[in-house]
Structure formats: structure tokens, C-alpha cells
A and B are shown apart, each in its own frame.
Chain A
Amino acid sequence: MPVITYREALRAAMREELQRDEKVVLMGEEVAQFNGAYKVTEGLLKEFGPKRVVDTPISEAGFIGLGIGASMLGIRPVMELMFWSFSYVAFDQIVNNAGNIRYMSGGLINCPIVIRGPANGGTNVGATHSHTPEAILASHPGIKVVCPATPYDAKGLMKAAIRDNDPVYVMENTILYNDKGEVPDEDYIVPLGVADVKRTGEDLTIVAHGRAVITSLKAAEILEKEHGVSVEVVDLRSIRPLDEATVLQSVRKTHRVLLVEENKPFCGVDAQVAYLIQSKAFDELDAPIHRVSSIDAPQIYCKRLEDQQLPNAQRVVAEALKVLA
């Protein structure tokens, strides 16, 4: 199987969908002539031309709203946000318009839009550019949110998102763009709402999403080598729809749980996952659930400190040992 980067996997997904369906349009700041601020869309303007791959002014509320409107008439816009942090200037469009239109029309109107871009910290760019809005957005019924951690999932989830008939928000990660992994050449999708056990284990379940999965896998290695602990890592992949069954199955196997996410803790995704586990598998637990999230503060600029503010392997290992104690 070809080994390609996360960035190339996303690009392959978009290229294949642009080929498959002429209603698919890519749009965003610098996506066409500049080949993307992070080069995710590199070469697509050349291949598909300016009708399919469109540069926009710096008007997120305008162009995201435009994409939502176009999707109501059957266009399948794939809108790039240079950072998900910039979605905040388009919040009304993203939440109120895209998220409510099917419901408020009594099911008459589809909104098959994809909004994608990086949503992560760890790049030393300060508080305004380091938001991880998956929890905020997933808290709105009507919206779907996915956070791929690997190249394979990036391609499969992106294709599923583009084919979906509801708004799907794909949260990528600039730090993962160069990560490599096996990705099939052929057409496949990763269905929305299906978690993936990235590592099997017996003693502890770590539930994570996005880059926190990679961090957790590193921590799992350390826990095995240095502490003789067998860790299972469940990658949610999709925040909403949430794959409750896979999470609960793992909890029933290990009976101990650590939740890891890059969000800030308050009202984070893992607050919901913790509730899920205590409501549906309370009797399975041998220890209280613990969490590792970003330290609860706006993102600090200083890189050395930001690396400590984010979940890192050391913090995950330390917290895992508390769950196991």
C-alpha cells in the first residue's frame, strides 16, 4: 500500500471527489493560486481549473455563508479555513445557518457542506490562532464533527464528509500534516461515527481524538516498556456522531479509563465521554475516570510552555499511573 502524508491523503480525497462529482467545489483563502497556506490543495487549481478551485477574499462570514447557501441548491462546497480559529468570525453561518436549516425547514433543505482546516495548538502562534472548537461545534445538534489522526483516516473521513448530506466540519492538525502512513489508492471511506481501536490492550483504556491519539500511542509505548502496563487506545475519529459502542466495549474490557484531548477541560469532548461511561458502564469501572487536557488557560505563546500546556506523553503517562494506582 502506498505510504503518503496526512496532507497528501487529504488532497487525494479532495481530488478523487472533484473527479467523481462535478458539484464539488473547493473554496477558501489562498487555496488556488498559492496552492494553500499549508499546501493541502497544491496542484488542484492546475488540475481542475478556477471554476472548481476558488480563491476567496478574507471574508469568512461571507464566503462560508455563501458556501452554505450554494449547498442548499446542491453544490458540494469544501471550504477551507486557513485555521479553524478563523471560524469564529463566521460563527453565525456555521452554527445558526448550517446547523439549523434542515430542522427549521422540517427536513426540506439539505446542507451538504464541508468546512475543513487545521484546529490545533502547539505551533507557537499564540491564543488567537490555537483554538480547538470541536467541542463547541459538536455541542450543536445538526452539525457533524470529525478529527482525523492518521493519513488513512484523513482520506477516508474527508471523502465520507464530502458525500454526506449534512454539514460536516473536518478538524485537521498542522502538526500532523507531514505524518506518513499507509493509504490505499482506491476509493474507500471511513464512515462518520465509527471509532477505531488504534492499539489493543488489557489494563487501561485511553480514549482520544486528533493529535491526542498520537500522543496517547506514544504514552502507551512508554507505559508498556517502562511500567509493564498494557494500554488500549481508542481513537474517536468522529466527535459527532459519537461511537458509544466502541468506547463502552473497551471500558468493559479494561475497567480503567483515561481520557485525553487537546481541548481545554471545561465542557470538553471528554466531559461528554466521561458522562457516557458513568451512565452506561459505571459498574464496569475499577477506578475513577481521569482526564488529560490542555491546561485551562488561553494558549500561551512561549513554545516551551505551550508544549507543557498541551497534553504530552509525560503528562499522559503520569495520569495513567494514577488511574492504575
Chain B
Amino acid sequence: MATPAVLTHPESLKRPAGPSEYAKHPINAALSKEDKIELYRKMARIRHFEQRCIRVYQQGKIGGFLHLYVGQEAVAAGTISLLGKHDHLITGYRDHGHGLMVGMGMNECMAELTGKATGCSQGKGGSMHYFAPDKNYWGGHGIVGGQAPLGTGLAYAVKYLGHKGSCLAYMGDGAVNQGAVHEAYNLAALWDLPIIFVIENNGYSMGTSQERSSAHPGCLAKRAEGYGMAWDVVNGHDVYEVRAKTSAALKRAHEESKPTVLEIFTYRYYGHSMADPDKTYRDKEEIKEYREQKDPVLLFEKELLAEKVLTPELSQAINEAAMAEADQAAAFADASPDPTVADITKNIYWEEDHRGPQTTSRGTIIFE
């Protein structure tokens, strides 16, 4: 195997999880007590929303694929908590956490999963295809790696428009082997685009461990060196570390218009999707260890309890409220109507949706 003897992994991951070494990093020190509580609340909301989805799926109300984000919350939470007006993001099909982080409502998110007209994409996109362009969230993409060039294009547009902004393009540890990703890396570096490629390395692409899928010089992020790009490795169980290292990459994007590859080490607790029985390719013990020792939500709760930002009572209230919100979202989805047959042929072409003087083509565009 091509895996090198020396692995380039985050220092903090080599030690047992304890208090964050990045709590005092300026980007975290600048957070008010309320900010920290809000960040925790957002992570808890992702956790409870996803866990509620499992039940809705088991009730047969969600079909198709359902890729859960449980275990990876600190990645979306840490990175997205730093974004401003001109920072954009795009990801793959494991896209619910990012959606909730940018401020999408649980109702529209749940209703999309059950295919209802009240869903964020009117029941047309589904679990893998969430979009909230009003919140700078450009999806939700089902084809592995396909979002990397799109993210590069968003970064190009940010630069073109003269905005001080960036794009975060997320992908998995399996996606890095798509040709499109490498073409995007080259373009980003060649044209000095303000993009951060975020590799959410959860150790597996479906049933394939990272070691079985990727040749690399120590870590996946280090491939950036081949393109002269900056890179870093990040402990994705520690939301403070995620924020600290992402802030450096954002600064590079905002101030120098340069790309970065960040490899964030994380873990998914459930199967690849709900269709994956998750019985063959990893140890139950491994999952248990991550859940018990490195859970990003629990670790951050501990951190905030120690900082006396959170109290056990407040934490309980936050979690209960998130569960209640997820329950209510499930009820909302239940009560919502399906799209109609007429809806099937809407939203295919702008001019079909906006028939009027601006319509330029005269031929038939939708066929019987």
C-alpha cells in the first residue's frame, strides 16, 4: 500500500481528548458567553434533528437515501460559525448539518426529506439536495466531488464581484479521488481564488476505509502541496480547534485571495446512509470509542461547563428544546401536502415559470 510510514495528523488527536488547546485562541477568546451558548445550541440542534430523522425514516416516511451527520457536528458548526456576508458554502449529500447551521429551519428541512411541497426544495430535491442560496448555501450535491468545481466557481464569482469573501467547499475523504476535485484544486491555486476545500475525513467512504482508497504523502490535505496551496490538518472533535484553524484559512482567502485545503478529522456514528447495515467494515468498538471519548457535542458541553458558561440545567433545557423543535418539525412535515403532478414540470426553465415579454425562445421546450 502507498500509505506512508509517517502520517501527518493533528497533534491534538494524538493525545486523549481533554480541555481544548484552542480555547484561548483569539477567535475563540473573542466569543461572548452568549455566542458560546448559541454555538452549543446549534450543535445540539443538528444532533437532535438527525436523530429524529432516523425515526421518521423508520416510520417509512423518508425513503431513498438518508446520510446522517451525527458525530461530525463540530465541522459544520465550527467552520460556518465564522462566516460573514460574502462567505459561501457548498457540500455533498451529507448536507443537513450545514443547512441547519446556515439558519435553515427544521420544518423545511424535515418536510424536504418526506417529499412535501413545504420542503426547502418543494419536495423536488430530497435529502441529498438541500439549497438555501439566500443564506449563501449552494447545496447539497449528490454526485461525489461534483461540488468542488462549483465551489471554485463561487469563489471565482466572489473575487470577480470584488467582494471580500470566500467559498467553503466541503467533501469527504472518498471524494478527494474524483478528477474534478484535482482540476478544481489546480484552478483555485492557478487563479488565486478565495476558497477553502474542507475535507471532512470521517475515515470511510461507504464501506471503504481511507487507507484502501487513497494514496497520499501523509495525509489527504498534503496533496495541496502539489498545487502550491496552503493546507492544515484539524481535530474535528474540537469545535474550538476547527474555528481556530478555519479562521486562518479564511484570513488567507479574505486578505490574500488564496486557497487552502483543510482536512478535518471526524467520525460518523451511523452507517454511510440508512441503507448501510454497517456490519462488516468497522468495529463496533471503534464506534463506541469515538462516541464515548471524542463526541464533539459532549466535549464542547464539558468545555463550556468547565468555563462556567453552561450549567447542567441550561444544557438540559437546550437539548430538550432542540428535541421538541425536531418533534414539531416531524409533525409539520406530516401535516404538509405533497407537490402536485403539475408541479413536476415547473422549475425546469426560467421562461416557463415566467412567461411574459422577456421570453425569448419560441419553440417547445417541454415535451409530451
A joins B in a complex: yes
Known: A86-B143, A309-B344. A301 touches B207 (CB 8 A): no
CA distance A222 to B164 in the complex (A): 64
CA distance A61 to B183 in the complex (A): 13
CA distance A296 to B63 in the complex (A): 23
CB pair A59 B64 closer than 8 Å: no
A30 within 8 A of B: yes
CB pair B366 A296 closer than 8 Å: yes
Contact of B143 among A34, A59, A89, A124 (CB under 8 A): A89
Q: How far is the CB of B175 from chain A (nearest CB, A)?
A: 7
CA distance A135 to B94 in the complex (A): 31
B65 within 8 A of A: yes
Instruction: Count A interface residues, CB 8 Å.
Output: 39
Tier of interface size on chain B: 35 or more
Task: Mark the stretch among B78-86, B122-130, B319-327 that contacts chain A.
Answer: B122-130
CA distance A129 to B142 in the complex (A): 7
Task: Give chain B interface residues in 286-311, CB to chain A under 8 Å.
Answer: none
A57 within 8 A of B: yes
A179 within 8 A of B: no
CA distance A41 to B94 in the complex (A): 26
CB pair B63 A33 closer than 8 Å: no
User: In chain B, what residue has the closest Cβ to A128?
Assistant: B142
Q: How far is the CB of B151 from chain A (nearest CB, A)?
A: 16
CB pair B341 A59 closer than 8 Å: no
CB pair B142 A126 closer than 8 Å: yes
CB pair B143 A88 closer than 8 Å: yes
CA distance A123 to B367 in the complex (A): 23
Q: Which residues of A contact B280 (CB under 8 A)?
A: 33-35
A280 within 8 A of B: no
Task: Mark the stretch among B208-216, B229-237, B241-249, B257-265 that contacts chain A.
Answer: B208-216
CB pair A301 B125 closer than 8 Å: yes
CA distance A303 to B64 in the complex (A): 9
User: In chain A, what residue has the closest Cβ to B113?
Assistant: A301
The digit string for B110-141, where 1 denotes a CB below 8 A from any CB of A, is 00100110000101111111000000000001
Q: Which residues of A contact B175 (CB under 8 A)?
A: 58
CB pair B207 A57 closer than 8 Å: no
A284 within 8 A of B: no
User: In chain A, what residue has the closest Cβ to B115?
Assistant: A302
User: In chain A, what residue has the closest Cβ to B116?
Assistant: A302
Besides the known contacts A34-B208, A89-B146, 20 further A-B residue pairs in the complex with CB atoms under 8 A apart: A33-B212, A34-B207, A37-B206, A58-B175, A58-B178, A59-B177, A61-B179, A89-B145, A124-B63, A124-B64, A125-B126, A126-B124, A126-B125, A127-B125, A129-B142, A296-B366, A301-B64, A301-B115, A305-B123, A309-B344
22 A-B pairs with CB atoms under 8 Å apart are: A33-B280, A33-B281, A58-B177, A58-B178, A61-B178, A89-B180, A125-B126, A126-B124, A127-B129, A127-B142, A264-B367, A295-B345, A296-B368, A298-B124, A300-B343, A301-B123, A301-B124, A302-B116, A303-B115, A304-B115, A305-B115, A305-B339
**A contact set with B: CB distance below 8 Å:** 29-30, 33-35, 37, 55, 57-62, 85-86, 88-89, 123-129, 264-266, 295-298, 300-305, 308-309
